[in-house]
Amino acid sequence: MAAEKKPTESVWTRPRPRQREQLTREQIVAAAVELLDAEGIEALSMRKLGTRLNAAATSLYRHVANKDELIELVVDDVFAELQVQAACDRAQWRAAVTQTANHLRAMALRHPWIAPELGQVGLVHIGPNAMRMSSGLLAQFEAAGFPAGEKDRAVGTLTAYVIGIATSEAAYLSLIARSGKTEQEWVAGLRPAFDAASQAHPPLREQSSARKDVHPQQIRDDDFAYGLERVLDGLTARLDA
């Protein structure tokens, strides 16, 4: 079907269709986010979404040419959840960027399907909410003192770390969710097998033993914070240089 062909442009590069019916782009996007949060990216299809909206799939195609364009829209819709602190001076830069990084990770974990998509959507960064976030981050790095030719690379380094970690976490948490167990139950159930397998690897066994009484979510939070601090250490060293 012609409507299924992948467009050569982004959904953001062409005008919205005139509104001649009750179904709106906003309704489609909201329903798609709900479906994705409940069932994951594999469950998303125009037909299934149409059923959820009590509308024919052809009605959806008046607003989006295919699923790729729909994903552009839902990703940008989720970006609206992010709050980027206004640009500040160098003394406050690190705290502001840390807050933004934590919000970005939290957003990705609320919507586990989104992290793998961020590297595949293509022109999603020209959506209004993604542009607002990127612009806010660039302003923070500019206020910190990064030169024009480097601030975008510094932002890219930060976001690559956050999205990389969030992608791994989202996959891990989705696996646990499918098991029907809590994270703590899942880790406890795996521990005997890990302990047995690590007998020949003392460093792994010692690390596991040191953390056995710590809640796994706390471990994830601490590991993310450690990595973020090291990334910011490296970026701060560039400012000092």
Domain extent, residue 21, equals 2-78
In this structure, are residues 137 and 103 in contact, taking their beta carbons and an 8 Å threshold?
Answer: no
- Do residue 68 and residue 123 come from a single domain? no
For the residues 182-188, what does the mean pLDDT come to? 91
- Do residue 56 and residue 38 come from a single domain? yes
Task: Residue 188: count other Cβ atoms within 10 Å of its Cβ.
Answer: 13
In this structure, are residues 63 and 111 in contact, taking their beta carbons and an 8 Å threshold?
Answer: no
Model pTM?
Answer: 0.83
In this structure, are residues 204 and 198 in contact, taking their beta carbons and an 8 Å threshold?
Answer: yes
- Do residue 11 and residue 94 come from a single domain? no
- Do residue 110 and residue 220 come from a single domain? yes
- Do residue 104 and residue 175 come from a single domain? yes
Confidence category of residue 117, pLDDT binned at 50, 70, 90? confident
| Choice between 18 and 39, residue whose per-residue pLDDT is larger | 39
Q: How many CA atoms lie within 13 A of 183 on its CB side?
A: 13
Last residue of a domain, one of 15, 45, 78: 78
**Total count of domains within the chain:** 2
CATH code of residue 62: 1.10.10.60
CATH code of residue 234: 1.10.357.10
pLDDT of the residue at 149? 87
Alpha carbon distance 233, 241 (integer Å): 12
| Choice between 42 and 87, residue whose per-residue pLDDT is larger | 42
